[in-house]
Structure 1
């Protein structure tokens, strides 16, 4: 005899979230392993654009973070070739140099103490959408983690190497988790590596869906209350961990050299 058919939606949501916390496992990858896995996951998801794009995450010491070495593509990043750098991009550990465009990450980290991982890439569909100078439109359930959580920078400030670009991009991002940069690409700024990886992957899918829908007709809006509900339902740390673990298992089939050991 079923005992949940009389429960309200909110009660069922709470029950499901509690079960997720109790049942779904928590992977034990290190910070460096998760960052390397993210590079491979995003490469497979179409986020590669030559050597463009940067992924960073805060390290243990304040004002330091891990990032990839300039000259290596996302498909070449492993836990052993990551760099530890400071806010001036001086290399503290590792060999090589960081992407000079990493400078604007420091501005975001300073403005947003809640942010621990930043992903900036130039994937195909996001770049195509950015060329139209239109904001991201969230009009599908799967894309709701981006609902009212994606800013838009309409004016391209040029290459993000100077401090001015850091101030502009950090201001455009505001308190949101993502921003579409016109004539440029995307950026997500999240509390965990898993969250950032999942949101960046979703961002590219959202842009692809928007371009397809725009070509077919007029995109219809979602009811705000329901879209906000879906945003909060999907955007939880446990779901991010679980989705990231799936993405990682898939990536490791193609990139077993990414990390030294797996769960």
Structure 2
């Protein structure tokens, strides 16, 4: 990667992304790392057009207080979010750290999943064009391309719709239906992914939205070939790899940090 002419490689902030099972030296350092990845995720989602007004939220569990999580502030565009803008939400949905409002729907969805899934560090949910279009079909992704196989037998269709998620019980139903899967298609609503790092959850979301787009295109063009069981098993093993997800996220994160260094402020 070649830096702009007026900047040297040393001027570009370096992003420390974790490997599987790796933690920072202290909870404080791990917290800052998760917050940096979270802020970068919002910038990436803005680049991919995943923003939709005030809708959409991504959360990261706090390493010191595991029942609390960091989230984007209410009504701040994804493209403007910085690390210092993020809010820490406590167990009752109150802002424990930060100076802005929070999204109530974010609390009910994310708190339920973080509570039910102690293995999950991050949860991503947004109202994308292709994700919402595909969600209206009320069916799971078919294994028609190798990337779709990352979600084979590893996502659910939540086939209820009761408007905005403003109640604890609905968030709990989503978490219960999600089970131990990595993703959900929320009918008439959008997509949701989880990960053991922020980078994983972000990359699975990007991949799932693209998989929805590819299936919509293929179905519109004709009858796509469904991969054989053997092909699906191979593709799932290769494309559901969490290390590959983190590396793919790192490629995108490097671009954001170089081109929008204020994200780390």
Settle same-fold status: TM greater than 0.5: yes
* Structure 2 match to 1:38: 41
Q: 1:27 aligns with which of 17, 24, 39?
A: 17
Q: 1:199 aligns with which of 201, 204, 215?
A: 204
| Structure 1 runs not aligned, ≥5 long | 1-24
Look up the SS of the partner of 1:258 in the other structure. Answer: helix
**Cα distance in 2 between the residues matched to 1:214 and 1:237:** 29
* Structure 2 match to 1:13: none
**Cα distance in 2 between the residues matched to 1:250 and 1:192:** 19
**Cα distance in 2 between the residues matched to 1:185 and 1:164:** 19
8 A contact 1:158–1:165 mirrored in 2: no
8 A contact 2:138–2:157 mirrored in 1: no
8 A contact 1:153–1:180 mirrored in 2: yes
| Structure 2 runs not aligned, ≥5 long | 1-14, 19-31
**Cα shift at 1:241:** 2.2
Q: Residues 167-218 of structure 1: CA distance to partner in whole angstroms, max 9, x if unpaired?
A: 2211221221000011000001221111101100001100110110110111
8 A contact 1:159–1:165 mirrored in 2: no
- Which stretch shifts more, 95-104 or 136-145? 136-145
**Cα shift at 1:254:** 4.5
Look up the SS of the partner of 2:188 in the other structure. Answer: coil
**Cα distance in 1 between the residues matched to 2:185 and 2:218:** 18
Is residue 131 of structure 2 the alignment partner of residue 126 of structure 1?
yes
* Structure 2 match to 1:92: 96
Consecutive aligned runs of 4 or more in structure 1 exceeding 4 Å deviation: none
**Cα shift at 1:162:** 0.5
8 A contact 1:52–1:121 mirrored in 2: yes
Look up the SS of the partner of 1:245 in the other structure. Answer: helix
RMSD: 1.8
Aligned length: 236
Aligned positions of 1:1-263 closer than 5 A? 27=17, 30-59=33-62, 60-102=64-106, 103-260=108-265
8 A contact 2:60–2:121 mirrored in 1: yes
Q: Residues 219-242 of structure 1: CA distance to partner in whole angstroms, max 9, x if unpaired?
A: 321122332222222333321221
Q: TM-score, normalised by structure 1?
A: 0.84
**Cα distance in 1 between the residues matched to 2:159 and 2:17:** 38
8 A contact 1:41–1:251 mirrored in 2: yes
**Cα distance in 1 between the residues matched to 2:160 and 2:243:** 36
Residues 157 and 174 from structure 1, CA distance in 2 versus in 1: closer, same or farther, beyond 3 angstroms? farther
8 A contact 1:91–1:97 mirrored in 2: yes
Q: Residues 112-134 of structure 1: CA distance to partner in whole angstroms, max 9, x if unpaired?
A: 11111000111110111112323
8 A contact 1:138–1:206 mirrored in 2: no
Look up the SS of the partner of 1:189 in the other structure. Answer: strand
